[in-house]
Amino acid sequence: MSHPENATVFLKDKARAKWHDETLWIVREKRDATIHQIPEWEKLRELASQIKDHTLSKLDFYLEELEKNATANGIKVHWAENAEEHNRIVAKILEEKNCKAIVKSKSILTEECHLNPYLEERGIEVVDTDLGERIIQFLKQPPSHIVMPAIHLKKSDISDIFHEKLHTEKGNVDPVYLTHAARLHLREKFLQAKVAITGVNFAVAETGEFVVCTNEGNADMGVHLADTHIACMGIEKLIPRRKDLSVFLRLLARSATGQSITNYNSHFRSPSPGKELHLILVNNGRTKQLGREKFRNSLKCIRCGACMNTCPIYRRSGGFSYGSTVPGPIGSILSPGIDLKKFSTLPFASTLCGSCSDVCPVKINIHEQLYEWRQEITKANGSSLKGLSMKMANGIFKSPLAYRISGKMMRASLKNLPDSIIYNPLNTWGKGRDLPDLPEESFKAWYKKNRP
């Protein structure tokens, strides 16, 4: 399925699509309001970008530093070349612990590695404990957003699934009531779990520690009650110094939801006495992306989701339309690096308006990379229909005469263009859109007549 085909499915429910669009825009506005309180915001973005650039330029050194310091702290460090090896490492630890049920807090990496189905096939119950993730787990859906995994759902949907799974009152859609029901249900799971899995927001090479940020406190509830904590991180989550966290923690929540910080920011450095702490460092294609000069700095991403909230395409097509673990603009530059063919439509799911790059807290040039991927994909596919029309447009804009003539032709032809062409299945752009009313004359003609 391509992005346009998937987006069509999302857009069938017009009211819901409108709600989705507006809700994400509100989150974008919250982000704007909070960053305007920080005069040094742009400086912080620059610092974050430079710290990540530096780290990526010496990633091998910092990974070894991290391993050395974490090991000295009593953390067991594992290395995984790919998703399958990551899953194998997790399964092996669970087997050693004779563990049949785990609690897991939000981790996009474990989604990327498809850890849940891997463990479930081996008879292990996986309970996602972030409220949004639990909701979509009940519905057997993937997250549609990396920060707000259930943003595509309405409270009536959640009420229905909770009625079925948690026996809440039918038709009660009160978010407080529903959240409380989930609290009771998940508390039971926390109290029973022997092994807890978390993701990692940042790992610090200098101290051998890692940081996990949540608002719900679910990561902490999981790991402090369990005997074994397994943390899974992509190798790009590294930063050199502890004080670098000050820059990233100022940027992350403000960019994500407009909060000044997440309510829980936990620094794990060594296990509690008698307990175990594992850290799995996962590559899964990241060293390849590091080798692609044009796309290297996509690895700076701190997974705040700001580019999704601002993207006119994401807001109007929904997270599922991308068909990738990380959707939206950042997903559209990360995914083609993993599978160019499968994700070939994603870099085209953009107007190249650049809003994603403007809000990115680590200054990734997302829209430029989208454009670069288009070149790569066109090269790989030969010239596509869309590519051809782009080239024609390019020629027209280059020549003033061609531009004048084509403008007259366009005005004449657009008026008479039958809907069958605009709304032709080949023209996916026409879906959900109308052409603007055309002026009777061009600006140039009007100016000639009316100039003083």
Partner 1 sequence: MSSKESILAAIKGLKLEEKPLPDIPDFEIASDLVDSFSLSLKANKGTVASKEEIEKLISETEFLKIYSASPVFEQYSNCQVPEHPADFADLDLAIIEGQSASAENAAIWLDESNLALRALPFIAAHLVIVIRKENILGNMHQAYDRIGLAKSGFGIFIAGPSKTADIEQSLVVGAHGAMSLRVVIL
Which of 260, 383, 413, 424 is in the footprint of partner 1 by CB under 8 A? 260
Q: Going residue by residue from 81 to 110, which x/- string records binding to partner 1, judged by CB under 8 A?
A: x---x-------------------------
User: CB under 8 Å to 250, separation ≥6 — which residues?
Assistant: 38, 44, 261
**Binder to partner 1 among 101, 139, 166, 225 (CB under 8 A)?**
225
Instruction: Find the shortest distance in angstroms from Cβ 57 to partner 1.
Output: 4
Instruction: Pick between residue 157 and residue 396 the one whose CB is nearest to partner 1.
Output: 157
What mask of x and - would describe binding to partner 1 in positions 334 to 353, judged by CB under 8 A?
A: --------------------
Rounded Cα distance between 310 and 250, Å, is 20
Of the pair 236, 428, the CB lying nearest partner 1 is at 236
- What is the nearest approach in angstroms of partner 1 to the Cβ of residue 365? 16
* 25 in contact with partner 1 (CB under 8 A): no
CB count in 10 Å sphere of residue 96: 10
Q: Which is nearer to partner 1, 134 or 374 (CB)?
A: 134
**Cα–Cα–Cα angle for 276, 262, 71, nearest 5°?**
25
**Considering the rule CB under 8 A, would residue 18 count as an interface residue with partner 1?**
no
- Cα(346)–Cα(323) distance, integer angstroms: 9
Cα–Cα nearest to 350, from 328, 372, 326 = 328
Q: Select the span of 182-190, 310-318, 383-391, 415-423 touching partner 1 (CB under 8 A).
A: 182-190
428 binds partner 1 (CB under 8 A): no
Residue 225 vs 410, nearer CB to partner 1:
225
Distance from chain centroid for Cα 8: 21
Can residue 70 be called a binding residue for partner 1 (CB under 8 A)?
no
Tell me whether residue 130 or residue 360 sits nearer to partner 1 (CB atom).
130
Q: Interface residues for partner 1 in 195-214 (CB under 8 A)? A: 206-207
**Cα–Cα distance between 172 and 160 in angstroms, integer?**
9
Kindly provide the residue ranges of all beta strands, DSSP E only, lying in 108-149, ordered along the sequence.
Answer: 125-128
Comparison of 248 and 343: residue with beta carbon closer to partner 1: 248
Q: Beta-strand (E) ranges in 29-99?
A: 76-80
Among 42, 57, 125, 402, binds partner 1 (CB under 8 A): 57
Scan residues 267-326 and list those touching partner 1 (CB under 8 A). Answer: 267-272, 281, 283, 287-288, 290-291
DSSP string, 422-451: HT-TT-GGGTT--PPPPPSS-HHHHHHHH-
d(CA 412, CA 391): 22
Pick the stretch among 33-41, 164-172, 368-376, 431-439 that binds partner 1 (CB under 8 A): 33-41
Q: Does 168 bind partner 1 (CB under 8 A)?
A: no
Cross-strand bridge partners of residue 239: 204
C-alpha distances in Å from residue 401, one per residue of 14, 364, 407, 408: 42, 38, 10, 11
Which is it for the CA torsion 389, 392, 396, 402, positive or negative? negative
Site for partner 1 in 126-155 (CB under 8 A): 129-132, 135, 148-151, 153-155
Could you give the C-alpha distances from 246 to 198, 243, 339, 380, in angstroms and in order?
21, 6, 35, 42
- Shortest distance in whole angstroms from residue 53 CB to partner 1: 4
Report DSSP letters for 325-390, one per residue. Answer: SS-HHHHHHHHHHH-TTTTTTGGGS-----HHHHH-TT---HHHHHHHHHHHHHHHH---HHHHHH
Q: Contact between 255 and partner 1 (CB under 8 A)?
A: no
| 72 sits near partner 1 (criterion: CB under 8 A) | no
Measured torsion, CA atoms of residues 214, 220, 226, 228, in degrees rounded to the nearest 10: 70
Interface with partner 1 (CB under 8 A), residue from 36, 60, 171, 437: 60
Q: Which residues are 282's β-sheet partners?
A: 80, 234
Residue closer to partner 1 by CB (options 207, 406) is 207
Minimum CB–partner distance for residue 197 and partner 1 (Å): 16
Among 263, 351, 389, 413, indicate the residue that binds partner 1 (CB under 8 A). Answer: 263
Q: Which of 9, 13, 58, 117 binds partner 1 (CB under 8 A)?
A: 58
C-beta of 179: minimal distance to partner 1 in Å? 4
Paired with 104 in beta bridges are 128, 197
